[in-house]
Structure 1
Amino acid sequence: MHPIPELTPLLKQLRLSGILDSLEARNREAIDRKLAFTEFLSLLIHDEVARRDNKKLSLRMRRANFRSQKTLEGFDFDRLPSLNRAAIHDLATCRFIDEKVAVLIAGPCGTGKSHLAQALGHAAARQGHDVLFSTQSQLLASLRSAAAVGTYDRRFQYLAKLPLLIIDDFGLKPLRSPDDEDFHDLIAERYERAATILTSNLDFPEWGEAFPGNKMIGAATLDRLRHGAHKIVLDGESYRGLKPGVETLRSELAKGGKIKQP
């Protein structure tokens, strides 16, 4: 008698139905290798644990709202020779999450700030941390939308308690009232309680310019972000290079040349 049909409802009742995915293969392996019952059971349990871990990771990745699969393995360090690779790999251990401090990344457009931030987020998710990636505009828009439907407190607490919140494009748009107050309140609530990554096109001394309407709120916000923070400057050429032929086109136009029509 084949035992799998009889086991199927029992495993489902115990919420162990994932074992069915590898049961036949493991059974054949146990017969071929003449494994003891305990060794066979160990293989099945390890399969189930791996399946559950992968399921949790997939869920964390969906909730993280990453733009794409940007990982540290795919980051082009060669374009940024002045960047300290060892420091970046140390950040990827995610000790900064346990330290509950910020990682502040500044640099010109196209130098890989968003890629690096998401890569650190991927590393955090793989290590079991809940992560959310959002632009500054999207983050504040979500709070405004929540306020409009009476769920502001719930949304705010969710954002405040996330182990890792990644805010992309900080300062790209000036923070006006009441967004500047919401942003300050969120950073203040997360201060020394959770880790935050910010990316910005502004140089670090210019970050105060993101709060044109209230310098005092800006100073208080940045003071909390900077305390114990890891600072990274990306200084290099843009990844978003011109398409082939565009530079030649510009050169010809600059010389007053005529472009032949196809």
Structure 2
Amino acid sequence: MLTHPTSDRLRELGLAGMARALEDQRRQPDLSDLCFEDRLGLLVDQEVLERDNRRLRIRLRFAGLRQQAAPENIDWRTSRGLDRPLFQKLLMGEWIERHENILVTGPTGTGKTWLSCALGHRACRDNRSVLYHRVPRLLEALGIARGDGRYARMLKSLARVQVLILDDWGITPLTAEQRRDLLEVVDDRHGRASTIITSQLPVELWHQHIDNPTIADAVLDRLVHGAHRIELKGESLRKLQAGKQPRLDE
């Protein structure tokens, strides 16, 4: 029997999935009834599956999603104004092909970050590049990058990803430098890639938050026009979940 040398050779060729599938077939005598083409097909299917899973893990690691949110785990029962038909349509990903944006707004705790990460997770599954950033920390990082010579390279990397998630938009005042950085990021991606923004501020207050009419007009013109809007409402889901937990004194 050349099974073991064959398994070793498959691993040497980078076909670990096929090697494991071959070893599984050895432990299942009933598979010997299958023809050669069928058994080979099972080996190839396992290799493809493992490679897809490996690529997904790499994409998710690069994305750095704040929450491990899978679309199939969305809570549709909680009343928070989530448009189910719209969200299910967005999960199909056509908005990414058209380089469109998504704006997710609502009070704290209504699931804005979770939903944006669920969309990012689905995009990773669909073999698209995704990157998550909280806006305050991203702007701080851009300021540091400007000082140490990495600014242009960092802007280029932000422009390259197919889906950029900008979380916690509008929670801290912007400096003049940060306004310009924001415009650079948005302008580089306009018409070339998609951006998801989450914010406690209604879109109508974003112009006021940027606090510079010229830059605000330029940023919002590139972000808001034609964007898909998800406007959540209701109480904090964290508060509701905490209320369901048994008290220690009960």
The answer to whether the superposition gives a TM-score over 0.5 is: yes
User: What 5-or-longer segments of structure 1 have no aligned partner?
Assistant: 246-262
Question: Counterparts of 1:72 and 1:154 in 2: how far apart (Å)?
Answer: 32
Please tell me whether the aligned partners of residues 80 and 110 of structure 2 are also in contact (alpha carbons under 8 angstroms): no
TM-score w.r.t. structure 1 length? 0.87
Q: Does 1:109 align with 2:145?
A: no
Deviation at 1:18, TM superposition (A): 2.9
1:195-229 CA deviation, whole Å, 9 max, x = no partner?
A: 000011111110112212x2210111011101221
Question: Counterparts of 1:146 and 1:22 in 2: how far apart (Å)?
Answer: 47
Question: Counterparts of 1:34 and 1:58 in 2: how far apart (Å)?
Answer: 35
1:2-57 CA deviation, whole Å, 9 max, x = no partner?
A: x2332244223422133222212124447545111111111101100000000000
Count residues in correspondence. 244
1:162-184 CA deviation, whole Å, 9 max, x = no partner?
A: 00000001111122121111110
Mean alpha-carbon deviation: is it higher for 170-179 or for 12-21?
12-21
1:31-46 counterparts in 2 under 5 A?
32-46=31-45
Change (3 A) 1:81 1:146: closer
Question: Counterparts of 2:102 and 2:243 in 1: how far apart (Å)?
Answer: 35
Structure 2 residue identity aligned to 1:239: L
Question: Counterparts of 2:186 and 2:152 in 1: how far apart (Å)?
Answer: 15
Alignment match, 2:82: 83
Structure 2 residue identity aligned to 1:49: V
1:175-254 counterparts in 2 under 5 A?
175-212=174-211, 214-241=212-239, 243=242
Please tell me whether the aligned partners of residues 174 and 209 of structure 1 are also in contact (alpha carbons under 8 angstroms): no
Deviation at 1:81, TM superposition (A): 5.4
Structure 1 residue identity aligned to 2:6: L
User: What 5-or-longer segments of structure 2 have no aligned partner?
Assistant: 245-250
Alignment match, 1:164: 163
Change (3 A) 1:244 1:87: closer
Matched-pair identity in %: 37
TM-score w.r.t. structure 2 length? 0.90
Mean alpha-carbon deviation: is it higher for 18-27 or for 225-234?
18-27
1:21-36 counterparts in 2 under 5 A?
21-29=20-28, 32-36=31-35
Question: Counterparts of 2:20 and 2:32 in 1: how far apart (Å)?
Answer: 20
Deviation at 1:72, TM superposition (A): 2.7
Question: Counterparts of 2:120 and 2:140 in 1: how far apart (Å)?
Answer: 22
Please provide the CA RMSD for this pair.
2.0
Structure 2 residue identity aligned to 1:221: V
Larger Rg: 1
Deviation at 1:134, TM superposition (A): 1.1
Question: Counterparts of 2:104 and 2:243 in 1: how far apart (Å)?
Answer: 30
Alignment match, 2:247: none
Question: Counterparts of 1:81 and 1:58 in 2: how far apart (Å)?
Answer: 31
Question: Counterparts of 1:64 and 1:81 in 2: how far apart (Å)?
Answer: 27
Question: Counterparts of 2:66 and 2:55 in 1: how far apart (Å)?
Answer: 19
Please tell me whether the aligned partners of residues 60 and 125 of structure 1 are also in contact (alpha carbons under 8 angstroms): yes
1:130-181 CA deviation, whole Å, 9 max, x = no partner?
A: 1111110122222223223322222111100100000001111122121111
Alignment match, 1:147: 146
Structure 2 residue identity aligned to 1:220: A
Question: Counterparts of 1:148 and 1:105 in 2: how far apart (Å)?
Answer: 32
Alignment match, 1:57: 56
Runs of 4+ deviating beyond 6 Å: none
Structure 1 residue identity aligned to 2:128: H
Question: Counterparts of 2:24 and 2:11 in 1: how far apart (Å)?
Answer: 19
Question: Counterparts of 2:166 and 2:125 in 1: how far apart (Å)?
Answer: 19
